[in-house]
Amino acid sequence: MKVTVFGIGYVGLVQAAVLAEVGHDVVCVDVNAERVENLKNGIIPIYEPGLTPLVKSNYEAERLQFTTDAEFGVKHGKIQFIAVGTPPDEDGSADLQYVLAVAKTIATYMESPKIVVDKSTVPVGTADKVAECIAAVLKTRGVSLDFDVVSNPEFLKEGAAVADCQRPDRIVIGTDSAVAESKMRELYAPFNRNHEKLIVMDVRSAELTKYAANCMLATKISFMNEMANLAEKLGADIEKVRLGIGSDPRIGYHFIYPGCGYGGSCFPKDVQALVRTAEKVGYTPELLRSVEAVNGRQKEKLFSHLQSYFNGDLAGKRIALWGLSFKPNTDDMRDASSRVLMENLWAAGAIVQAYDPEAMNETQRIYGTRADLNLMGTKESALNGADALVVCTEWNAFKAPDFDLIKETLNHAVIFDGRNLYDPAILEAQGIAYYGIGRGRSV
């Protein structure tokens, strides 16, 4: 099938490459000319396992094209995906300006019936707005063309995006149009072979499904972080509690890892956006507000541990920081907990010596060159002359470090572990002070 994808970010690029891989003829349109040019030259804008060979091979096979030419894109695809960003606006609601700009573009150039698919995460009612926008532009053009607006939210996780798109748990399709449903079934047939994965529903329910899924996952994390904070006060170990509750299949082991808060481009903005949506319809979202508040507090936790440990005097202290991305296997730093920590440390006069396997360039791009940020080439060199080690991201490379080297190199043998990677008993036996999240002791 001929498909056009507007927005070549995490979602658009991965979805486009995966659709091309099964034989669809995909054109990707982006307003970022540099990104388009780079992609044509095999330079992939994001780090995502498996993505580079997938993009390159499908580009070479001419099943995947990149362009800034929106008119060409609109004329190409029967199916037009909108996969642009929906960042928070000033009050935390999802900003729909990019989504509606694409809707307008589609309406401006379409010359045949289209199926417009909202792939971006958008509030309930957005498909109606997209339809109104398209209808209005068609009217001013004086043309009458059929179109459907379908909601097809994306559930991929960064760091596993290719695998998630190739083998989705479910494919949610929100539409009341039989024609659109049939085209979406045809599009996704290659991903729907082993058992039925398509869940077809009305548009509004599909739009809410996306927010409900992310908010449920965020709620699990904030709940566990609250339990971890309690465990710290009560002398219990949250990691034992995690195993104890996860073994109940009604609870499960997924998304109950306590830590230094959830980050990324989605949970923080989507929880906030659903809070605003609820408020706008006169509903008080008590639980969601708490999920957000608990997470905000959790992101401050490592800093407050450090402050207590150094008796409030962090000026001139050198802090080794392992892990900058908001989770492993990505270079994405959006809303990463490491940023809250670094910014707090700088405000307190400390110097950060940071290492991340993939997010060094992104850190440099965000913060530029500054005297209180040293980007180090290895995790070991980040320890040199440092007063403490903090772990913010659970990259595999940090899971079994050389503790003797850590002890010898640090000025103070102390680790603040924001992801509970290490066994407190082993570290104590090695003579390293250890502060995890909810591990029976506070600083």
Extract the tokens encoding 165: 């798109």
Which helix (DSSP H) or strand (DSSP E) does residue 29 occupy?
strand 25-29
Extract the tokens encoding 219: 């709620």
Binding-site member from 67, 175, 214, 374 for ligand UGA (CB under 6 A): 214
Rounded alpha-carbon distances, angstroms, from residue 356 to 108, 260, 384: 44, 16, 16
The reply to whether 262 sits near ligand NAD by the rule CB under 6 A is no
| Smallest separation, CB 28 to ligand NAD (Å) | 9
Binding-site member from 156, 342, 351, 383 for ligand NAD (CB under 6 A): 156
Catalytic residue among 28, 165, 260, 266: 266
Provide the 3-class DSSP secondary structure of residue 319. strand
The reply to whether 155 sits near ligand UGA by the rule CB under 6 A is yes
| Smallest separation, CB 431 to ligand UGA (Å) | 29
What residue has token string 């095999």? 42
Binding mask 267-306 for ligand UGA (x = CB under 6 A): x---------------------------------------
* Angstrom distance (rounded) from CA 256 to CA 50: 27
Binding-site member from 211, 262, 309, 310 for ligand UGA (CB under 6 A): 262
Binding-site member from 58, 65, 67, 121 for ligand NAD (CB under 6 A): 121
* Angstrom distance (rounded) from CA 228 to CA 230: 5
Rounded alpha-carbon distances, angstroms, from residue 40 to 5, 23, 27, 43: 16, 19, 12, 7
Residue type, 346: W
The reply to whether 257 sits near ligand UGA by the rule CB under 6 A is yes
- Kindly indicate which of the ranges 105-113, 152-160, 307-315, 421-429 contains the residues binding ligand UGA, using the contact rule CB under 6 A: 152-160
Nearer to ligand NAD, 68 or 192 (CB): 68
- Kindly indicate which of the ranges 32-40, 138-146, 214-222, 271-279 contains the residues binding ligand UGA, using the contact rule CB under 6 A: 214-222
Extract the tokens encoding 313: 């005097």
| Smallest separation, CB 245 to ligand UGA (Å) | 12
Close Cβ partners of 65 (under 8 Å, ≥ 6 residues apart) = 26, 27, 28, 59
- Kindly indicate which of the ranges 35-43, 64-72, 153-161, 310-318 contains the residues binding ligand UGA, using the contact rule CB under 6 A: 153-161
Residue type, 286: E
B/e letters for 120-142, b = 16+ CB within 10 Å, e = fewer, are bbbbbebbebbbebbeebbeeee
Size of the site for ligand NAD (CB under 6 A): 26
Tell me whether residue 392 is one of the annotated catalytic residues. Answer: no
- Kindly indicate which of the ranges 79-87, 187-195, 263-271, 372-380 contains the residues binding ligand UGA, using the contact rule CB under 6 A: 263-271
> Would you say 192 and 186 are in contact if contact means Cβ atoms under 8 Å apart?
no
Nearer to ligand NAD, 151 or 374 (CB): 151
Instruction: Tell me which of ligand NAD, ligand UGA, none is bound by residue 214, counting a contact when its beta carbon lies within the kind-specific cut-off of 5 to 8 angstroms.
Output: ligand UGA
Binding-site member from 77, 174, 263, 424 for ligand UGA (CB under 6 A): 263
Close Cβ partners of 201 (under 8 Å, ≥ 6 residues apart) = 172, 173, 174, 209
Binding-site member from 3, 17, 20, 30 for ligand NAD (CB under 6 A): 30
Close Cβ partners of 435 (under 8 Å, ≥ 6 residues apart) = 305, 309, 414, 415, 416, 417, 441, 442, 443
> Would you say 426 and 420 are in contact if contact means Cβ atoms under 8 Å apart?
no
The reply to whether 398 sits near ligand UGA by the rule CB under 6 A is no
| Smallest separation, CB 312 to ligand NAD (Å) | 38
Binding-site member from 29, 51, 82, 156 for ligand UGA (CB under 6 A): 156
Neighbouring CB atoms inside 10 A of 414's CB total 22
Binding mask 316-355 for ligand UGA (x = CB under 6 A): ----------xx----------------------------
Count of alpha carbons within 13 angstroms of residue 381, beta-carbon side = 7
Nearer to ligand NAD, 91 or 428 (CB): 91
- Alpha carbon dihedral 156, 162, 168, 169, in 10-degree steps, equals -60
| Smallest separation, CB 322 to ligand UGA (Å) | 14
What residue has token string 């409030």? 312
| Cα separation of the two ends of the chain | 59
Rounded alpha-carbon distances, angstroms, from residue 175 to 56, 150, 212: 33, 5, 18
- Kindly indicate which of the ranges 54-62, 108-116, 152-160, 293-301 contains the residues binding ligand NAD, using the contact rule CB under 6 A: 152-160
The footprint of ligand NAD (CB under 6 A) covers 6-12, 29-32, 35, 83-86, 98, 101-102, 120-121, 154, 156, 158, 265-266
The footprint of ligand UGA (CB under 6 A) covers 121, 154-158, 214, 217, 221, 255-257, 259, 262-264, 266-267, 326-327
Q: Mind telling me the catalytic residues?
A: 266
